[in-house]
Amino acid sequence: MECRIGLDVGSTTAKIAVVDGRSQLIHSSYVRHHTQIYETVSALLKETASVVGEENVSLTVTGSAGMGICENTGIPFIQELIAATEVVHKCYPQVKTLIDVGGEDSKMIFFPAGRIPDIRMNGSCAGGTGAFIDQMAALLNIETAEMSRLAARHQHLYPIASRCGVFAKTDVQNLISRKIPKEDIAISVFHAVAVQCLNTLARGYGVLPEVMFIGGPFTFLPELIHAFSKALNITEKDIVHPEHPEIIPALGAALSCKEEGSVPMRLQQLLSQLSARPHQAVRHRLPPLFTSPSDWQQWQTNNRPVAVKRTALAEYSGQSCFVGIDSGSTTTKIVTLGEDNELLFGFYRNNRGQPVETVCEGLQLFKKELSVAGKTLTISRSIVTGYGEDLIKAAFGIDDGVVETIAHYAGAHHIDPGVSFILDIGGQDMKAIFIRDGAIRRIELNESCSSGCGSFIETFGKNVDLTVQEFALKACQSTAPCDLGTRCTVFMNSKVKQSLRENAPIEDIAAGLSYSVIKNALIKVLNVTNMDELGERLSVQGGVFRNPSVRRALELLSGKTVILTDIPELMGAYGAAIIAGKQFKQTLNEQFDSKVYAAQN
């Protein structure tokens, strides 16, 4: 009895469905591939071998990353929406609307009576996709599956922008700082996904029951279906629940094997085809970040970060200190400087949505280190900057607040008085400061797209099970970086998937992403057409620049000297502490001058 196999390889997951001669599903599986596409597919087929035995099988592939398999092996391909339509026609003819939310895209198919299906797909923004939900779960410091369990216990709904992860993170961060229960935030995220998806895909067409929801997010997050149902004003009787909603395109591919021209063969032959795939050269390559391992080693030796002046607390002879706090949207940074601007204490933590508690944790740690050192210091002046400036200033009685860009400029100028351009790339935003003759002449902020920010690299690193540090090392080993462009994360992921289809190694993709972060900053956000606009001395800040591949990409693209300190992620707080010290000393001078004037008169 010949079995038919459908293989759906998407942007983040791989699914397999096996049907027998009566078109009955006899085996299925759903796994994340972490970009190890051929290895994952081979594992799925080997697992299937225990089910089909020595029988002949036919295979059809679908999915955004599946096309590359077909291009390399000659195995038949079917577009995933066509495959899903096949399942509806053959198994669920009562369905009038199909909604599919995937990892990086969302789709909607309308089945009007007597007409061909109306197929729509969103690939321009991650707002209505599973990746968006993953980002929000990470911000709440919970597993994605926990989102659904929390949402089931919600009490209130809050507005959240669902267009881009950056906008949404700002909204969610605001809800977290206001102590809104996670249950309410979870349902608000689901509601945002539903609104984004429906507004984008259902324009000009009514969503008619019966409705079928498919894809991993709907399968593993049942409360997401409830959010869509409320947005659509439909009830349970209007919904069709397929037995395996997560594998519908794979099932459609299996059912379509004969129509797609699949040639029956032994499963071992299919595995041989996959293992013998030809290497396909990736087009659109960029110069390597380093020409050789020795070039990389020499660069590391010659480009060590500038070490800021430090003094151990136990050795500090001063009586007072100055505190700078940078309360960001996702992280909290605290710096304590001595009377001669020496670094006495540094603190960096993810605030987990609790900025006040995190600042308190940092200050308690400073107090503990003072006790261990046997020191008692007076905080002569304190300054806060960042997203949580007003909240932290009120909560801790901080002396003053300062705009973020000014704090970053103060830190950079203290390290290098001749600095001409400052680029600060954070997890969610980017700041750029243009300086001429020691004066700020232009400031640019990017808070509308995450593609040029640290979370962009961090997210992709997680997708391939690599830390940011491991990902950076891979990039530095690349010999031919992929040119991934300068667009939205979703578009960039499409370029990444194309590179994966062409067998690009992870090193070349990592290096390409490093280039893209800088290109997004310089070209897309700042619209820099002439690198001379940057001046000759560039200062880089933010934890992203601990990644040497990003720093090197900026050097190569700008052709300028790039200065990095050994505390790039603390530079906002460092600058705030520098300002605090200057203000305190200025006040002392003014008081002294006033006393002198009074004595003379």
Domain co-membership, 105 together with 216: yes
CA 581 – CA 568 distance, rounded (Å): 20
The reported pLDDT for the residue numbered 596 is 60
Residue ranges of the alpha helices (H) in 104-247?
130-139, 144-151, 165-177, 182-201, 216-220, 222-232
Residue ranges of the alpha helices (H) in 1-93?
37-52, 66-73, 80-91
Domain co-membership, 164 together with 212: yes
Q: Could you count the other beta carbons within 10 Å of the beta carbon of residue 366?
A: 22
Average pLDDT over residues 109-136: 78
| Domain contains 256 | yes
Helix (H) or strand (E) holding 344: strand 343-350
CA 564 – CA 551 distance, rounded (Å): 9
| Domain contains 267 | yes
Token representation of residue 116: 């061909």
Domain boundary among 549, 565, 581: 565
CA 462 – CA 450 distance, rounded (Å): 16
Confidence of residue 466 (pLDDT cuts 50, 70, 90): confident
Residue 238's region, left for phi above 0, alpha for psi from -120 to 50, else beta, is alpha
Q: Per-residue DSSP letters for 557-593? A: HH-SEEEEBS-GGGHHHHHHHHHHHHHHHHHHHHHHH
Q: Per-residue DSSP letters for 235-290? A: -GGGEE--S-GGGHHHHHHHHTTTTTTPPPEEHHHHHHHHHTPPP-PPSSB---SS
Query: Is the Cβ–Cβ distance between 240 and 213 less than 8 Å?
Result: no
Over residues 492-509, the pLDDT tens digits come to 666 776 676 666 788 998
Domain co-membership, 370 together with 484: no
Name the domain count of the chain: 4
Tokens 């001749």 found at = 418
Q: How far is CA 239 from CA 72, 90, 95, 193, in A?
A: 39, 17, 9, 18
| Domain contains 146 | yes
Over residues 401-443, the pLDDT tens digits come to 999 999 999 999 999 999 999 998 876 677 889 999 888 888 8
Q: How far is CA 418 from CA 98, 421, 436, in A?
A: 60, 9, 9
Over residues 188-216, the pLDDT tens digits come to 999 988 888 888 888 767 889 999 999 88
| Domain contains 578 | no
What b/e string do you get for 37-59 counting C-beta neighbours within 10 Å, with b at 16 or more? bbebbebbbeebeeebeeeebbb
Domain co-membership, 464 together with 426: yes
CA 155 – CA 213 distance, rounded (Å): 25
The reported pLDDT for the residue numbered 456 is 64
Confidence of residue 491 (pLDDT cuts 50, 70, 90): low
| Domain contains 101 | yes
Domain co-membership, 157 together with 70: no
Phi, psi of 345 (to 5 degrees): -160, 140
Helix (H) or strand (E) holding 156: none
The reported pLDDT for the residue numbered 26 is 93
Q: Is 481 exposed, middle or buried (0-12, 13-18, 19+ CB in 10 A)?
A: buried
The reported pLDDT for the residue numbered 593 is 59
Q: Is the peptide bond before 447 cis (omega within 30 degrees of 0)?
A: no
Q: What is the dihedral of CA 496, 497, 500, 502, to 10 degrees?
A: -100
pLDDT above 70 as % of the chain = 86
The reported pLDDT for the residue numbered 220 is 92
The reported pLDDT for the residue numbered 463 is 63
Q: Could you count the other beta carbons within 10 Å of the beta carbon of residue 74?
A: 10
| Domain contains 581 | no
Domain co-membership, 48 together with 135: no
| Domain contains 591 | no
pLDDT above 60 for 167: no
Token representation of residue 108: 């909607």
Domain co-membership, 268 together with 234: no
| Domain contains 220 | yes
Domain co-membership, 194 together with 210: yes
The residue ranking higher by pLDDT, 193 or 362, is 362
- What is the length of the chain? 601
CA 461 – CA 495 distance, rounded (Å): 16
Q: Is 183 exposed, middle or buried (0-12, 13-18, 19+ CB in 10 A)?
A: middle
pLDDT above 90 as % of the chain = 48
Query: Is the Cβ–Cβ distance between 401 and 389 less than 8 Å?
Result: yes
Helix (H, G, I), strand (E, B) or coil at 460: helix
Domain boundary among 401, 427, 443: 401
Q: 55: domain CATH number?
A: 3.30.420.40
Quick one: which of 128, 126, 121 has its CA closest to 82? 121
Domain co-membership, 450 together with 540: yes
The reported pLDDT for the residue numbered 74 is 79
Give the structural domain span for 267: 1-81+245-278
The residue ranking higher by pLDDT, 467 or 163, is 467
Quick one: which of 119, 123, 93, 124 has its CA closest to 108? 119
Phi, psi of 279 (to 5 degrees): -75, 130
Domain co-membership, 559 together with 421: yes
Over residues 11-26, the pLDDT tens digits come to 778 999 999 988 899 9
CA 130 – CA 522 distance, rounded (Å): 29
Residue ranges of the alpha helices (H) in 435-477?
454-463, 468-476
The reported pLDDT for the residue numbered 589 is 72
Q: Could you count the other beta carbons within 10 Å of the beta carbon of residue 143?
A: 11
Token representation of residue 117: 């299906």
CA 11 – CA 216 distance, rounded (Å): 12
The reported pLDDT for the residue numbered 126 is 55
Strands 106-110 and 118-122: antiparallel
Phi, psi of 313 (to 5 degrees): -55, -40
Domain boundary among 336, 368, 401: 401
Helix (H, G, I), strand (E, B) or coil at 327: strand
Domain co-membership, 41 together with 115: no
Confidence of residue 67 (pLDDT cuts 50, 70, 90): confident
Confidence of residue 102 (pLDDT cuts 50, 70, 90): confident
Which of the given ranges, 55-59, 308-312, 385-389, has the highest pLDDT on average?
308-312
Confidence of residue 105 (pLDDT cuts 50, 70, 90): confident
pLDDT above 70 for 278: no
DSSP 508: H
Average pLDDT along the chain: 85
Domain co-membership, 62 together with 119: no
